[in-house]
Amino acid sequence: MYKKIKETAEWLQKRMPNAPKTAIVLGTGLGQLAERIERILSIPYSEIPNFPVSTVEGHAGELIFGRLGGVEVMAMEGRFHYYEGYSMQQVTFPVRVMYELGIKTLFVSNAAGGTNPDFKIGDLMIITDHINYMPENPLHGPNIPTGPRFPDMGEAYSKELIAKADKIAEEHGIKVQHGVYLATQGPTYETPSEYRMFAKWGADAVGMSTVPEVIVANHCGIKVFGMSIITDLGGMDNPPKVTHEEVQKAAQAVQPLMATIMEEMLKAV
Ligand code: HPA
C-alpha cells in the first residue's frame, strides 16, 4: 500500500506544474469553485497510476492543479465514496498521495441532512467535529508510518481554521451554522428514527462521505477545514421525502457562498 502511494506521488511530482500547500476535495456544493480555479493542469483519475478505478458509469473525476485567488491549489473534482464499493483504503488513497506531495491543509465539502432543529435547508455548516458511524476505520490494518498507531482526534477540524472561516463569513455577511457531522456508509438516506437517534448522539448533520478522508488527513498531520451544505432535514414526525435531485437543488443555491468562503480561506492559510 505505502509503496503504491509513493509510486503515485512520484508520478504526479514529475508532472505537477506547481507546489500547492492546500488541497480541496470538491464535494457536492463546490462545483462552482472548480470553475473559479485557474487551471494549469487537469489529470483524469483514470490516467493516474494506482488511483481507484471508477465503479460507476461516466468518469470518476479529475485532479486539478491551478490557482485560486492567486494561490496555488490542488483540487479533487469528484471523490470516491464508500457506498460505491471502494474500500476505505481506496477512498482515502488520494489524501495519502496529497501528504506525499507536500499538502499541509485540506478543505473538504459535502451535502448533508440536518438533524439539528435550528437548521434550515440551504444553511451552511462549518464542521466542528465528526462521528464516524461508517462500518470501518480507514486506518484499519498495518499502520502506515505517517502517524502513530493510535492517532489523537481531539482536534480533527482545526480550531484556528474555524476561527478564520468565522471571520471571513462575518466580513462577507454570510450566515454560518456550526455542528457535528456524522457519516454513515449510505447509500440509503435515514429513517426518521435514525435521524432522531443521530441527533440524540450529538450529530447536527448526516452524510455519506468526508470522515474517512479527514481521519487519514489527521493521521498525516494535515490540518482540516470542512463545510456542509444542509440540503434536507430529518427527524421530524412527518419528514419530507429526500431525493437526490432535491439535495442537488438545495446545494446549487448556496454554492456561491460556500465557494466564496473557501476561496478566502485559501488566501488566509
Ligand atoms: N443523509 C445522508 N446523506 C445525505 C443527506 C441525508 O439526509 N443529505 C445529503 N446527503
How far does the centroid of ligand 1 lie from the alpha carbon of residue 122, in Å? 13
CATH number at residue 184: 3.40.50.1580
Angle of helix 159-171 versus helix 244-268 axis, rounded to 10: 100
Helix (H) or strand (E) holding 179: strand 177-183
Residue nearest atom 9 of ligand 1, based on CA coordinates: 112
- pLDDT value at position 249? 77
- pLDDT value at position 54? 65
- pLDDT value at position 178? 98
Per residue in 61-98, pLDDT (tens digit) is 899 999 998 999 999 998 999 999 999 999 999 999 99
Query: What value, to the nearest 5°, has the Cα angle with vertex 150 and ends 145 and 151?
Result: 80
Q: Is 39 exposed, middle or buried (0-12, 13-18, 19+ CB in 10 A)?
A: middle
How many CA atoms lie less than 13 Å away from 211 in the CB half-sphere? 24
Give the domain range for residue 108.
2-268
How far does the centroid of ligand 1 lie from the alpha carbon of residue 209, in Å? 10
116 and 64 in contact (C-beta within 8 Å)? Answer: no
Residue nearest atom 3 of ligand 1, based on CA coordinates: 207
Q: Is 71 exposed, middle or buried (0-12, 13-18, 19+ CB in 10 A)?
A: middle
Angle of helix 211-219 versus helix 88-100 axis, rounded to 10: 40
How far does the centroid of ligand 1 lie from the alpha carbon of residue 112, in Å? 4
- pLDDT value at position 6? 96
Does the pLDDT of residue 198 top 60, yes or no?
yes
Any ligand 1 atom below 6 A from CB of 229: no
Helix-strand-coil split of the chain, %, nearest 5: 35, 25, 40
**Averaging pLDDT over each range in 52-56, 111-115, 242-246, which range is the top one?**
111-115
Per residue in 119-132, pLDDT (tens digit) is 999 999 999 999 99
For residue 113, which atom of ligand 1 is closest to its CA? 7
CA distances from 57 to 28, 53, 54, 217 (A): 18, 11, 8, 28
The structural domain count of the chain equals 1
40 and 67 in contact (C-beta within 8 Å)? Answer: yes
Backbone angles phi, psi at 48, to 5 degrees: -90, 120
Any ligand 1 atom below 6 A from CB of 89: no
- pLDDT value at position 29? 66
Does the pLDDT of residue 30 top 80, yes or no?
no
Banded model confidence at residue 246, pLDDT cuts 50, 70, 90: confident
> 223 or 239, which is more confident?
223
- pLDDT value at position 73? 96
What average pLDDT does the structure give for the chain?
A: 92
- Grid cell for residue 19: 507546489
- pLDDT value at position 224? 98
